[in-house]
Amino acid sequence: MLIGSEVLKQDLDRLTNEQLQQVADFIAFLKFRDKRRRIVLDPDRLATLATEFAEEDRVLAEAGMSDYAAMLDREDRL
């Protein structure tokens, strides 16, 4: 069923402020959903990013392990 913009405008003119807010929220949702669908991840770009940040990830994991080991040691003493 096709509906013209003039019919929609007339319908919008009859809505309460609360109903208009709901329409605005729905429009925002539609825009978000459409934008999300258009995002296409390039596998080559993802591989490049993974390689680029691999060392940083390793360093962060190593730093977190010492804290984790200390927490385990404290728990063992309780």
pLDDT tens-digit map of 58-70: 888 887 777 787 8
pLDDT, residue 59, reads 85
Q: How far apart are CA 31 and CA 2, in angstroms?
A: 20
Question: Is residue 21 predicted with pLDDT exceeding 90?
Answer: yes
Q: Please state whether the predicted TM-score (pTM) of the whole model is above 0.75.
A: no
Range list of H helices, the chain: 5-13, 17-38, 43-77
12 band by pLDDT with thresholds 50, 70 and 90:
very high
**C-alpha to C-alpha distance for 69 and 72, rounded to whole angstroms:** 5
Cβ neighbours of residue 23 closer than 8 Å, sequence gap 6 or more: 12, 15
Give residue-wise pLDDT tens across range 29-60.
999 988 877 677 788 888 998 999 998 888 88
